[in-house]
């Protein structure tokens, strides 16, 4: 057996090790700038890079970070318009932000070993259709993905997350974060594909969830919300949360196909309850709802409202429908002082919300929006999240390409 056959690779390996100990593997609190593949290659002997790594505009084609396993700061690429692919085959963690923004030509993002990220922020990546996160990211403080070409969230495998924003991803048809049990921040799902199916099969607790423009929503395990559950302008035909017992504000507005809401275990609404402008919703029935800390504001075209367990409404009560429904049970609640605030209940051709907006699409062309709040007062129109500018830029850019 020849000795030299082994000594050559050994020398090469020790050479690489010496390079690693002597080279520049970044500095905490400062940024290592990457302008080309050779800058990335200069880091290939660093298992840990300290500080941030930033890709600088002007790069064209792809960049691969071989060898790096950890970044103690952020990995950032902003306005690197012509970057087509970004890959880090060995990278397992990014301590701070993983921020990619305005990278129009990016089609491939390959981070097969990545599991832990401080936060994910991807914005204006119109040609990125999938994430090659093979192991799957199971830890990220927050996730914001807006105006990308993603069709699914495959590769995002979180157990828990803070803020979670999915906005203006117009090709996104499927969100299934199977492992997620706890969303501690604000969830916003808005203006993605009109065919979007959202599934959170194991989500138990959340704080504030807003769904817009969504086709189906599945939250079979959801038990407690400390904030708002808001459904606006969705295409769902039914909404079921069989285990939900408490939430703050509960809003169902402008869901034109919504025919049934099933919240069989809902007992406490610690904010207000607002249901407005859901043209197909004929029956509203919350069998166990007992206390509402704010107002109840229910307008539309329904023919039956049933709140048989109601014991306390601290705000006002407004029920107005174009449909023929019975107010007798509510008249009694008003007489018995179960309802503390102002009381309105009637059939009318112009149902009006507490904030004065119209509560039925069958009688008006203008859209409306209402919120019953904990004070019992009405707030103005609910702001639609910032889909406008980035969506427009993305659309224009994709037309130009």
Quote the tokens at residue 257.
């196909």
The residue from 324, 328, 337, 366 that contacts ligand NAG (CB under 6 A) is 324
Burial class (CB in 10 A: 0-12, 13-18, 19+), 235: middle
Among 73, 149, 155, 233, binds ligand NAG (CB under 6 A): 233
Sketch the per residue contact string, 87 through 106, with ligand NAG: x for CB under 6 A, - otherwise.
Answer: --------------------
Q: Is 21 in the site for ligand NAG (CB under 6 A)?
A: no
Q: Are 119 and 97 in contact (CB under 8 A)?
A: yes
- Which residues, listed in sequence order, are joined to residue 145 by a DSSP beta bridge? 122, 166
Nearer of residues 4 and 28 to ligand NAG, judged by Cβ: 28
Under the criterion CB under 6 A, does residue 276 sit at the interface with ligand NAG? Answer: no
Task: Please compute Rg for the chain using Cα positions.
Answer: 26
C-beta closer to ligand NAG: residue 152 or 235: 235
Would you state the torsion angle of the CA atoms of residues 387, 390, 395, 401, taken in this order, to the nearest 10 degrees? -160
Q: Are the C-beta atoms of residues 196 and 217 closer than 8 Å to each other?
A: no
The single-letter DSSP state of residue 397 is H
Q: Which of 306, 363, 364, 386 touches ligand NAG (CB under 6 A)?
A: 306
Closest C-alpha among 69, 75, 3, 63 to residue 37: 63
Q: Are 86 and 108 in contact (CB under 8 A)?
A: yes
* C-beta of 14 vs 367, nearer to ligand NAG: 367
Asked if 35 is part of the footprint of ligand NAG (rule: CB under 6 A), the reply reads no
Among 13, 17, 134, 220, binds ligand NAG (CB under 6 A): 220
CA-CA distance, 203 to 329, in Å (whole number)?
35
Tell me which DSSP letter residue 54 carries: E
Closer of 14 and 211 to ligand NAG (Cβ): 211
Residues that bind ligand NAG (CB under 6 A): 30-31, 33, 57-58, 60, 81-82, 115, 135, 138-139, 159-160, 182, 184, 186, 188, 191, 204-205, 208, 210, 212-213, 216, 220-221, 223-224, 227-228, 232-233, 237-238, 243, 245-246, 248-249, 254, 283, 285, 304, 306, 324, 344, 346, 348, 384
């Amino acid at each position: 057996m020849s000795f030299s056959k082994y000594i050559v690779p050994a020398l090469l390996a020790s050479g690489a090790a010496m390079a690693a100990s002597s080279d520049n593997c970044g500095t905490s609190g400062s940024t290592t700038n990457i302008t080309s593949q050779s800058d990335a290659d200069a880091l290939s002997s660093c298992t840990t890079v300290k500080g941030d790594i930033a890709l600088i505009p002007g790069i064209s084609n792809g960049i691969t970070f071989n060898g790096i396993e950890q970044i103690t700061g952020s990995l950032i690429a902003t306005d690197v318009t012509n970057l087509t692919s970004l890959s880090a085959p060995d990278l397992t963690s990014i301590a701070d932000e993983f921020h990619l923004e305005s990278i129009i030509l990016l089609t491939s993002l390959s981070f097969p070993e990545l599991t832990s990220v401080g936060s994910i922020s991807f914005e204006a990546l119109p040609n990125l259709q999938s994430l090659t996160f093979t192991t799957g990211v199971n830890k990220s403080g927050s996730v914001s993905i807006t105006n990308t070409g993603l069709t699914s969230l495959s590769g995002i495998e979180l157990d828990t997350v803070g803020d979670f924003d999915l906005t203006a991803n117009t090709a996104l048809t499927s969100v299934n974060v199977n492992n997620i049990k706890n969303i501690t921040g604000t969830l916003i799902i808005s203006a993605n594909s009109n065919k979007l199916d959202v599934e959170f099969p194991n989500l138990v607790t959340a704080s504030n969830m807003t769904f817009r423009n969504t086709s189906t929503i599945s939250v079979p395990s959801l038990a407690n919300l400390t904030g708002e559950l808001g459904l606006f302008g969705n295409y769902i035909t039914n909404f079921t949360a069989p285990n939900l017992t408490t939430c703050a504000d509960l809003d169902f507005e402008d869901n034109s196909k919504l025919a049934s809401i099933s919240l069989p275990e809902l007992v406490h609404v610690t904010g207000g309850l607002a249901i407005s402008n859901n043209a197909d919703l004929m029956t509203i029935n919350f069998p166990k709802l007992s206390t509402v800390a704010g107002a109840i504001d229910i307008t539309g075209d329904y023919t039956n409202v049933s709140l048989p367990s109601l014991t306390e409404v601290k705000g006002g009560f407004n029920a107005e429908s174009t449909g023929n429904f019975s107010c007798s049970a509510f008249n009694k609640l008003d007489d018995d002082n179960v309802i503390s605030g102002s009381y309105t209940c009637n059939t009318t051709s112009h149902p009006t919300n507490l904030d004065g907006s119209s509560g039925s699409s069958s009688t008006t062309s203008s859209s409306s929006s209402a919120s019953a709040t904990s004070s019992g007062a009405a707030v103005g129109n609910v702001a639609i999240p910032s889909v406008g500018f980035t969506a427009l830029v993305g659309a224009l850019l994709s037309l130009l390409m």
